[in-house]
Amino acid sequence: MYDKTVRRRRAVLGLLVACSLILLTAYFGESAGGALHGVQRGASEVLNPVQDGASRALKPVRDLFGWFGDTLEAKGDVEDLRAERNSLRRELLAEEGARVEADRLRKMLELDSALDLERYEPVTGRVIAQSPTVWYATIRVNKGSDDGVRRGQPVINEEALIGEVTEVFSGAAQVTLITDTTSKVTARTSRRGSFGVVEPASAGNPTDLILNFAPSSVNLDEGERVVTRGTVTDTDRLQSLFPAGLPVGEITRIENAGTDTQEVHLRPFANMRNLDVVQILTRPGAGT
């Protein structure tokens, strides 16, 4: 019974295929006004309204699927654009950082040349940590004893003196800034040649220093530059480990001028809140 059914289906299929071939051959072989072409036109006239109605009815469904497809494609485009934006942003930040660092190194080389600091064998390092406390202003750099760094050596950035090395490790060193409450730097004014000791005016204020022990008889001016004295005396209070002429700061105001309570305030040249690349003068005693 099963074999008969299969044979019958195969015979029907073969007959349909043969009829299709005959109709196709006849359709393509007759002229445009033939009977088969006429049947096609009649069927089209009957089915066109049905197809148009079905198309209208299915249009919202097609639009919905199209919207989903466009949304997914747009989402993919947004992700690609976001990844491209992030990549370009990283490249831009890296380029800006490299430009800033190059500018700082250029200024540092200019300072070395202007003050003849090459003879102090400067070692360039990067700031890797900064103290967050108010009373102690310190930074840590990525150069240490392996690089010839020792305690007491002066440290500068591209602008001016920033401090001295107070602790040394094999691959790092701690620098105490001139704004630290323990810091003292023997200095002199550039125009009058008046000597004194630069100390922080108050804890936690990295923009205000005081030139103590400056003679009240000397008339100092606002805007006058203060540099390191660069000498070593028998008085511990005035003992200096810094080369002469390192920029320190600029006088901003003088309180009680000409009296025994005179206070000479200055702003450091170096921005202590924005330290990145520094130099350690590994031969601080050279030429003093």
Which CATH number does the domain 120-288 belong to among 3.40.50.1470, 2.40.10.340, 2.40.110.10, 1.10.10.10? 2.40.10.340
Q: Is the dihedral of CA 112, 186, 170, 102 positive or negative?
A: negative
255, containing H or E segment? strand 247-255
Q: Does residue 70 have a pLDDT over 90?
A: no
Q: Tell me, what's the pLDDT at 278?
A: 94
Q: pLDDT by residue (tens digit) across 148-166?
A: 999 999 999 999 999 999 9
**121 Cβ contact list (under 8 Å, min separation 6):** 148, 281, 282, 283
| Distant-in-sequence, close-in-space partners of 252: CB < 8 Å, separation ≥ 6 | 208, 222, 265, 266, 267
- Rounded Cα distance, 225 and 159, in Å: 13
Question: Residue 158: which residues within 8 A CB-CB, separation 6 or more?
Answer: 104, 105, 106, 107, 108, 111, 277
pLDDT of residue 197: 93
Mean pLDDT of the chain: 79
At CA 121, angle to CA 118 and CA 124, rounded to 5? 100
- What 8-state DSSP symbol labels residue 188? E
For residue 254, give every residue at least 6 positions away whose Cβ sits within 8 Å of its Cβ, in sequence order, or none: 220, 222, 262, 263, 264, 265
Q: Which residue has the higher pLDDT, 220 or 203?
A: 220
Is pLDDT at 58 greater than 70 in this prediction? Answer: no
Look at residue 205 in the predicted model and tell me its pLDDT: 81
Percentage helix, strand, coil for the chain under 3-state DSSP, each rounded to 5 = 40, 25, 35
CB 133 within 8 A of CB 176: no
What does the buried/exposed string (b/e) look like for 224-240 if buried means 16 or more CB atoms within 10 Å of the residue's CB?
bbbbbbbeeeeeeebeb
pLDDT at 146: 95
pTM of the model: 0.64
Quick check: helix, strand or coil at residue 251? strand
Query: Domain spans of the chain?
Result: 40-115, 120-288
* CA gap 208, 272 in Å, rounded: 11
What percentage of the chain carries pLDDT values higher than 90? 33
- Average pLDDT, integer, range 265-274: 92
pLDDT at 239 over 50: no
Token pair, residue 207, equals: 């923009």
pLDDT, tens digit, 9 for 90 and up, residues 97-149? 667 777 877 887 888 888 888 888 999 999 999 886 666 689 999 999 999 99
